[in-house]
Amino acid sequence: MVALKHYRQHVRIAAKAGADVVICGAGLPMDLPELVAGTDTKIAPIVSSARCAKLLLQKWKRSYQYVADFVVIEGPKAGGHLGFSKEEVLEGISFEEEIKAIISFVKEFGKTEGKEIPVIVAGGIFTHEDILHAMDLGADGVQMATRFVATHECDASQAYKEAYIQAKEEDIKITQSPVGMPGRAINNAFLQRVEKGETCVKKCYQCLAKCNPANIPYCITQALVEAVKGNVDQGLIFCGSNVGRIREIVSVHDLMQELVYGK
């Protein structure tokens, strides 16, 4: 997350340690090429509009003579932090035209620069058919999270996965995260306390560049870590818009069979 206080150090250290790829979102990673300079680490921004895609790719080229290695498009149905206003997310804006516009810009840009730039689409992809549809729009691949949380292999606690199985569509809440972006999560005791105005910042982890612990209802690091460890009533259960369709925990193997070959 670009919004992290130590975002630059995190990227530099990851690249020096030999990371194959760094993907940055939650903010505009304007200086990302500089942070991986001198390494073989590939870089990609996460964008939610053609305007941002244009801004970033042109800036990277102009200031660093760097052409993005790939681009991740994240739509309003994704889990976690969202690059849209709360109103846009709640109103459920149609995103297909924006996906097409981003892909068209990125592909044209790549052609001009003589580099193939793959585009990955994320947010709300649930079935084999959804993947085919993303490909029809021009995507080279998809990124999925929610469905993979509900797998045996996912390292989240059993309680976290159980919350996914129990969740219905009406249990989804859009919360304002201290990161400064809306976030999609399952409505639970924690979020209800936050809604009532209770604050619960135990200690400051110094995680965000712009955050005053005195002015926030909860600490994003604390809330996410509590949930993933299994203290779900004390934490934020991030999820995608399709969490209500999760019925059971499956193996990654079976999920991949379903996603790749259909049923």
Ligand X SMILES: Cc1cc2nc3c(=O)[nH]c(=O)nc-3n(C[C@H](O)[C@H](O)[C@H](O)COP(=O)(O)O)c2cc1C
CA separation for the pair 69, 61 (Å, rounded): 12
Q: Does 238 bind ligand X (CB under 6 A)?
A: yes
Work out how close the CB of 33 gets to ligand X at its nearest, in angstroms, rounded to a whole number. 19
Q: Does 53 bind ligand X (CB under 6 A)?
A: no
Q: Which is nearer to ligand X, 36 or 149 (CB)?
A: 149
CA separation for the pair 135, 110 (Å, rounded): 18
Work out how close the CB of 143 gets to ligand X at its nearest, in angstroms, rounded to a whole number. 5
Q: Which residue has the tokens 């996603």?
A: 259
**Helix, strand, or coil (residue 173):** strand
Q: Which is nearer to ligand X, 194 or 223 (CB)?
A: 223
* Piece of the chain touching ligand X by CB under 6 A; list 95-103, 104-112, 120-128, 168-176: 120-128
Structure tokens given for 84? 């849209």
Q: What angle do CA 71, 77, 79 make, to 5 degrees?
A: 80
Q: Does 131 bind ligand X (CB under 6 A)?
A: no
Q: Does 221 bind ligand X (CB under 6 A)?
A: no
CA separation for the pair 256, 148 (Å, rounded): 10
**CB neighbourhood size of 28 (10 A):** 17
Q: Does 182 bind ligand X (CB under 6 A)?
A: no
Residue count, binding to ligand X (CB under 6 A)? 20
* Piece of the chain touching ligand X by CB under 6 A; list 51-59, 76-84, 92-100, 111-119: 76-84
Q: Does 79 bind ligand X (CB under 6 A)?
A: yes
Q: Does 183 bind ligand X (CB under 6 A)?
A: no
CA separation for the pair 41, 193 (Å, rounded): 42
Cα–Cα separations (whole angstroms), residue 116 to 10, 68, 120: 27, 9, 13
Work out how close the CB of 71 gets to ligand X at its nearest, in angstroms, rounded to a whole number. 13
Cα–Cα separations (whole angstroms), residue 135 to 92, 128, 148, 183: 22, 11, 20, 26
Q: Does 217 bind ligand X (CB under 6 A)?
A: no
Q: Does 36 bind ligand X (CB under 6 A)?
A: no
Q: Does 235 bind ligand X (CB under 6 A)?
A: no
State which of residues 33, 76, 80, 183 lies at the interface with ligand X (CB under 6 A).
80
Structure tokens given for 104? 């068209």
CA separation for the pair 35, 168 (Å, rounded): 42
* Piece of the chain touching ligand X by CB under 6 A; list 13-21, 103-111, 123-131, 214-222: 123-131
Q: Does 146 bind ligand X (CB under 6 A)?
A: yes
State which of residues 15, 144, 163, 207 lies at the interface with ligand X (CB under 6 A).
144
Q: At how many degrees (to 10) do helices 50-64 and 96-113 cross?
A: 20
Residue 208 half-sphere exposure toward CB, CA atoms < 13 A = 19
Q: Does 25 bind ligand X (CB under 6 A)?
A: yes
| Interface contacts to ligand X, rule CB under 6 A | 25, 46, 74, 77-80, 122-125, 143-146, 149, 238-240, 242
